[in-house]
């Protein structure tokens, strides 16, 4: 081959609960050329659902002086359908809960169970632990974290956090 290519792509989940128009809106992908030279072209594929909240996530992160995990902000944004005031309120309540006696220690005792279920983001895990402890969700925090991570993903990586701080 004169021009070799490698395509890395994961297909999003398929739900038969939606009509075709809704399905396309919910599970579409955006493509952006990240870099290219004479022989290669790198295209970044992002889920439309991620792109929908990226700007708001960055704005909220700046409000909190970049001290909150971007994936946590994104997760809360999705759960409140982009209502920034609700995100700020949820984060404030969560941050107050974190500093109360023993809440972090209780999570630390369950941390290994989260990891065994492939829930590696401790900020997200702690938030879901908080939701379960306060009775905001019916599932266990571990079940909720696993299901949420599998179905919705976490769009941000460490590089995004560093870029966002600059």
pLDDT tens digits for 42-65? 887 777 777 778 889 999 999 999
For position 1, what pLDDT does the model report? 40
Angle ∠(148,69,90) on CA atoms, nearest 5: 70
- Read off the pLDDT of each residue in 13-31 and give the average, rounded to a whole number: 67
Question: Residue 102, SS3?
Answer: coil
User: Nearest-CA neighbor of 87 among 69, 104, 100, 102?
Assistant: 69
Q: How confident is the model at residue 38 (pLDDT cuts 50, 70, 90)?
A: confident
What's the rounded Cα separation, in Å, for the pair 107 and 110?
A: 5
* DSSP run (H or E) holding 79: helix 70-79
pTM of the model: 0.74
- Are the beta carbons of 123 and 69 closer than 8 angstroms? yes
CA 70 – CA 47 distance, rounded (Å): 16
Average pLDDT, the chain: 84
pLDDT digits (tens, 9 = 90+) for 110-138: 999 999 998 999 999 999 999 999 999 99
Average pLDDT over every residue of 67-76: 94
Q: Quick one: DSSP state of residue 34?
A: E
3-state percent helix, strand, coil for the chain, nearest multiple of 5? 55, 10, 35
């Amino acid at each position: 081959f004169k021009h070799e290519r490698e395509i890395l792509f994961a297909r999003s989940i398929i739900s038969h609960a939606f009509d075709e128009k809704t399905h396309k809106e919910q599970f579409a992908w955006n493509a952006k050329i990240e870099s290219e030279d004479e022989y290669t072209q790198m295209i970044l594929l992002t889920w439309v659902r991620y792109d929908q909240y990226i700007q708001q996530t960055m704005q909220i992160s700046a409000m909190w002086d970049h001290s909150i995990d971007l994936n946590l902000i994104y997760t809360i944004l999705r759960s409140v359908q982009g209502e920034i005031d609700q995100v700020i309120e949820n984060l404030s309540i969560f941050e107050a809960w974190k500093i109360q006696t023993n809440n972090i220690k209780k999570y630390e005792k369950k941390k290994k169970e989260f990891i065994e279920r492939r829930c590696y983001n401790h900020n997200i895990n702690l938030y879901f632990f908080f939701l379960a402890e306060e009775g905001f969700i019916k599932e266990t925090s571990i079940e909720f974290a696993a299901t949420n991570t599998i179905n919705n993903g976490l769009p941000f990586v460490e590089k995004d956090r560093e870029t966002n701080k600059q």
